[in-house]
Amino acid sequence: MRTDPKTMLSPAESRDLRCVAGMMIPPSAAFGVPGADDAAIFADITASLGRDFADVRQALGALAALSGGAFADLDEARRAAVAEAFQARGGAALVTLTRVILQCYYRDDRVVRSLDLEPRPPFPKGHMLEQGDWSLLDPVRARPKMWRDVPPR
Amino acid sequence: MNQIVDVLIIGSGASGAAVAWSLAGTRMKILCLEQGDWVKQSDFPSNGRDWEARRYGDFDISPNRRARPTDYPVNDDNSPMKVANFNGVGGGTIMYTAHFPRMHPSDFRVRSLDGVADDWPVDYAMLEPFFAENDRMMGVSGLAGDPAYPPKQLPMPPLPLGKTGTRYARAMNKLGWHWWPSDSTIATTEYDGRAQCINLGHCTPGCAQGAKASTDITYWPHAIRAGVELRPRCRVREITTNEHGMASGAIYYDADGVERFQPAEMVILACNGIGTPRLLLNSASSRFPNGLANSSGLVGKNLMLHPWPQVRGYIDERVDGDRAPMLSLWSKEFYETDPARDFVRGYTLQFHRGTGVVNEAITSAAVGRLPWGQDHHRVYRDLVYRRLQIGIACEDLPEEHNRVTLDPVLKDSHGIPAPRIDYTISENTRRMMEHGIARAEEILTAAGANNLYTSRTILNSPGHLLGTARMGIDPERSVVNEWGRCHDVKNLFIVDGSIWVTSGGVNPTSTIQALALYIADSIKQRLATLFD
Ligand SMILES: Cc1cc2nc3c(=O)[nH]c(=O)nc-3n(C[C@H](O)[C@H](O)[C@H](O)COP(=O)(O)OP(=O)(O)OC[C@H]3O[C@@H](n4cnc5c(N)ncnc54)[C@H](O)[C@@H]3O)c2cc1C
């Protein structure tokens, strides 16, 4: 299969991205959720890079530079140290990398259900909103006028 | 060549739509050129599972990030607040949050009352009938009796309090501070062919239900039925003038990129506080070497953007989050000038219901509050749907060094010079911001929130683009007169947010539209002597 290097990550970049996604959000048996490196979630992440592609590539480049090679190939302790340094450096590319992972993770059906929410778009079903108790306004209704009178022109 | 029209309106947003509808009754031939497209309700993000992600993509509030072919870039590097807008039929109302406060009577008299900036040449009483007319046309929900405003009637009942609103209400009552359900252009009943709100939540990037009043579904259908022509995908490059120094029409690029000339008897600009000065400056000619209508030198100056700190905190129960319109309550407790404070003027507090699942994760991670690793899940579950957030809508006063100019390098897709903004936050505004932040922290604490976090300047401005072609009686100190006509060019009018003299501490669209209706009415009253 041929890939376009301007819009598709290389296999090495892809491996590092998956690895960093799994470190950011690992699976949790306690909460019954997959990690962000889950196959379906990771496929969504790579398919959704779109206008963020350049920033993500830049972030992965910085990660590889900090690793002195492939981040995914480091041993666990070294990976943790590099990930910490990577986060401490911050920057716009890291913010983008984090966002592209989070926006796909938190729309996965399994994750959404684990939060006791329905996996669906807002439209057309919408949501119910309770009216609330408008008598809470009574003390405000009782206040004198607050706007300032203006002098005649 | 196109046939001459009586009225050429440029821009179809909040003010362009209102002025088009109001003038339609005159039977003049009216044409509106709009650089953007119609947007379909089925295109809005809340139709799909990627609805939150699209707020960072094709429905981002920044034109630079959104970068649709219909957008133009803005160089806002030299400003702590970035420009937000939408370019399409409906303009900024496609992307607005539909919070719809009016300016207060004191906002029009800041020099007389507080000794700063300038008084407006119009006042609340003059605009009152136009506020009411606009409320009817846009369809406003709200509750009469707010002690912060002169009496007004709203066509629809207010948005529900919900769980989040109840939490704020109790906190505000505990503190003894004013709060009230906001005026909002979200339909709480069926209204003028619009469906009732069903709490999709994501009002800002467009309402798939059509419950939010953007002008493409309020004013425009009425204006078009009354005979106004609206031509989308037409980007105006410059206003032309004739040997008498009058506007003669506009040169624009049509949907195919072909340059065309549209002759007109009268031109009305409605391109907003960035687009209008850009167009006037791009219309410089040998007759008007500093830009059109710029003998005062004030075109582009006095840009006001409304600094808008946000304070958030988290409570011990799940509340409404993004499952309802984001804004539904305001407080005017600190709106009017108080001589005991170290700043003049004031601000509105806006109470947010919370945010969505994805956005909670993104915004918390961005400020280092959502860790990587196993702890991520536990921390996240203490955040999601537990957020309370208060926005502080600060009035910034006009200052000439805050301005729009033409960028020497940046251009749009038609090669037209793009705007550049230079903006700094003044000392008065900074003190106001800190005062508001401290009050918001008190409210959140009274509501039982902890884990508080403040962003002093949000990444993008609230999309309030004001003051860059101000109105006034003195031609040396203003660009348009008291009824919107340019001092220098007697058949050129401006009706958008650029004519504001000061900014008030409120979201501006209600007042922008009331002013546009007032100017249209002034035009109608003077038709026989309009260009004298
Ligand atoms: C994210 C966001 C949230 C907001 N929330 C609120 C809110 O809750 N309440 C509130 O009151 N306000 C809100 N606003 C602000 C509101 O959208 C604006 O105040 C209002 O739309 C401004 O009206 P206007 O007529 O001045 O210009 P706009 O509505 O911006 O219309 C200008 C139009 O002119 C067109 N145009 C510009 N240049 C050209 C050209 N050269 N040729 C052809 N067409 C051109 C543009 O494409 C655009 O459609 C928000 C804005 C944003 C972006």
Q: How far apart are CA A102 and CA A127, in angstroms?
A: 24
- Mutate which of A137, A138, A145, A149 to test chain B, going by most B C-beta atoms within 10 A? A137
3-state secondary structure B222-277: HHHHCCCEEECCCEEEEEEECCCCCEEEEEEECCCCCEEEEEEEEEEECCHHHHHH
- Can you give the three-state secondary structure of B30-87, one letter per residue? EEEECCCCCCCHHHCHHHCCCCCHHHHCCCCCCHHHHCCCCCCCCEEEECCCECCCCC
pLDDT digits (tens, 9 = 90+) for B431-479: 999 999 999 999 999 999 999 999 987 655 789 999 999 999 999 999 9
Residue B485: count of CB within 10 angstroms of its CB = 24
Surface of B (320-339) touching A: CB under 8 A: 320, 322-324, 332, 335-336
Question: CA–CA separation, A74 vs A20, rounded Å?
Answer: 12
For residue B392, the surrounding DSSP H or E stretch is strand B387-394
Ramachandran area for residue A90 (φ above 0: left; ψ -120 to 50: alpha; else beta): left
What is the band of A7 on the pLDDT scale with cuts at 50, 70, 90? confident
Residue showing tokens 């840009």? B303
Question: What spatial distance separates the first Cα and last Cα of chain A, rounded to whole Å?
Answer: 77
- Name residue B409's amino acid: V
- The total of other beta-carbon atoms located within 10 Å of residue A144's CB is 5
Q: Is B382 in contact with B344 (CB distance < 8 Å)?
A: no
CB-closest option in B51, B56, B124 to A122 = B51
Query: Which whole-number Å values give the CA distances from B37 to B86, B90, B107, in the listed order?
Result: 11, 9, 35
Contacts of A28 in chain B (CB under 8 A): 374, 377
What confidence score (pLDDT) does residue B460 get?
A: 58
Instruction: List pLDDT tens digits, range A91-139.
Output: 999 999 999 999 999 999 999 999 999 999 999 999 999 999 999 999 9
Kindly state the average pLDDT of the residues B31-35: 98
Report A:55-94 residues touching B (Cβ under 8 A). Answer: 83, 87
Average pLDDT over residues B107-112: 97
- pLDDT per position as a tens digit, B271-285: 999 999 999 999 999
CB A137 within 8 A of CB B62: no
Best of A89, A106, A116 to disrupt the B interface by mutation (most B CBs within 10 Å)?
A: A106
Contact present, B93 and B214 (Cβ < 8 Å)? yes
Q: How far is the CA of B379 from the centre of ligand 1 (A)?
A: 38
* Peptide bond preceding A124 in cis form (omega within 30 of 0): yes
Whether A3 has a pLDDT exceeding 60, the answer reads no
Cα dist from A12 to A73, B349, B429, whole Å:
10, 49, 50
Among residues B145, B143, B171, which one has the least CA distance to residue A143?
B145
Q: Do A107 and B53 touch (CB under 8 A)?
A: yes
Q: Ligand 1: which atom is nearest the Cα of residue B90?
A: 49
Name the residue with the closest Cα to ligand 1, atom 21.
Answer: B92
pLDDT at B196 over 90: yes
- Ligand 1 site-directed mutation target among B22, B33, B39, B93, most atoms within 8 Å of CB: B93
Q: Tell me the pLDDT band of A6, cut-offs 50, 70 and 90.
A: confident
Shortest CA distance to B228 belongs to which of B32, B89, B35?
Answer: B32
Q: Between A24, A123, A133, which is nearest B46 by CB?
A: A123
pLDDT of residue B458: 61
Q: Residue A54: phi, psi to the nearest 5? A: -60, -45
Residue at token pair 């026989």: B528
> If you take atom 37 of ligand 1, which residue's CA is the nearest one?
B271
pLDDT digit string, tens, across residues B345-368: 999 999 999 999 999 999 999 999
Q: What is the DSSP letter of B425?
A: -
CB A17 within 8 A of CB A45: yes
Provide the mean pLDDT of chain B: 97
Q: How many of the other CB atoms lie within 10 Å of CB of B531?
A: 13
Among all residues of chain A, which has the CA nearest to that of B333?
A: A146
- Tokens (6 digits) for B236: 């105006």
| Assigned token pair, B172 | 């505000």
Query: Would you list the domain boundaries of chain B?
Result: 5-47+54-354+386-526
Supply the Cα-derived Rg of chain B in whole angstroms. 22
Q: What is the pLDDT of residues B500-521, one digit of tens each?
A: 999 999 999 999 999 999 999 9
DSSP symbols for B369-385:
-S-SSTHHHHHHHTTTT
In whole angstroms, what is the distance from residue B41 CA to residue B34 CA?
A: 19
Distance A37 CA to ligand 1 centre (A): 41
Question: Is the Cβ pair B56, A132 closer than 8 Å?
Answer: no
Q: How far apart are CA B442 and CA B463, in angstroms?
A: 27
For residues B79-103, average pLDDT: 97
Exposure of B101 by Cβ count < 10 A (0-12 exposed, 13-18 middle, 19+ buried)? buried
Kindly state the tokens that stand for B357.
């699942």
Which residues in chain A touch residue B332, judged by CB atoms under 8 angstroms apart? 146
Overall average pLDDT of the B302-330 stretch: 96
Question: B95 CA to middle of ligand 1, Å?
Answer: 8
- Token pair recorded at residue B465: 């683009």
Inter-chain touch A126–B176, beta carbons under 8 Å: no
Of ligand 1's atoms, which has the minimum distance to the CA of residue B89? Answer: 49
| Arithmetic mean of pLDDT, B242-269 | 98
Instruction: Count Cα neighbours of B232 within 13 Å in the Cβ-side half-sphere.
Output: 17
Residue ranges of B 203-222 with Cβ closer than 8 A to chain A: 208-209
| Residue of minimum CA distance from atom 31 in ligand 1 | B13
Does B180 contact A145 at a Cβ distance shorter than 8 Å? no
Phi/psi for B524 (5° steps) reads -65, -40
Q: How far is the CA of B292 from the centre of ligand 1 (A)?
A: 22
Distance from CA of B174 to the nearest CA of A (A): 10
ipTM for the complex?
Answer: 0.96
Choose the closest CB to B198 out of A115, A126, A130: A126
User: For a substitution probing ligand 1, which of B271, B308, B510 has the most ligand atoms within 8 Å of its CB?
Assistant: B271
**What whole-number distance in Å separates Cα of residue A53 and Cα of residue A45?**
11
Q: Which atom of ligand 1 is nearest to B98's Cα?
A: 8
Chain B residues touching A134 at Cβ < 8 A = 161
Which ligand 1 atom sits closest to the C-alpha of B465?
19
In this prediction, residues B289-318 reach a mean pLDDT of 97
The pLDDT of residue B459: 54
Cα-Cα end-to-end distance for chain B: 29
Confidence class of residue B235 from pLDDT cuts 50, 70 and 90?
A: very high
Kindly report, residue by residue over A22-65, the tens digit of the pLDDT. 999 999 999 999 999 999 999 999 999 999 999 999 999 999 99
Q: Which residues line ligand 1 (CB under 6 A)?
A: B 10-16, 33-36, 61, 84-88, 91-93, 95-100, 204, 235-236, 270-272, 275, 279, 462-464, 496-497, 507-509, 512
Q: Which atom of ligand 1 is nearest to the CA of B86?
A: 53
Residue B391 is inside which H or E element, if any?
Answer: strand B387-394
Is the CB of residue B437 less than 8 Å from the CB of residue B309?
A: yes
How many CA atoms are closer than 13 Å to the CA of B198, on its beta-carbon side?
A: 13
Record: contact A137-B149, CB cut-off 8 A: no
For residue B237, the ligand 1 atom closest to its alpha carbon is 41
Ligand 1 center to residue B97 CA distance, Å? 12
CB contact under 8 A, A141 and B335: no
B311 membership: H or E segment, kind and range = strand B310-314
Three-class DSSP labels, B23-37: HHCCCCCEEEECCCC
Please indicate if any CB of chain B lies within 8 Å of the CB of A25.
yes
Position A1 confidence tier, pLDDT thresholds 50, 70, 90 = very low
Options 3.10.110.10, 3.50.50.60, 3.40.50.300, 3.40.50.2300; CATH of B5-47+54-354+386-526 = 3.50.50.60
Rounded CA-CA distance B376/B371 in Å is 5
Q: Which residues of B touch A150 (CB under 8 A)?
A: 105-106, 108-109, 112-113, 123-124
> What is residue B320's three-state secondary structure?
coil
Which residue does chain A place closest to B338, by CA atoms?
A: A148
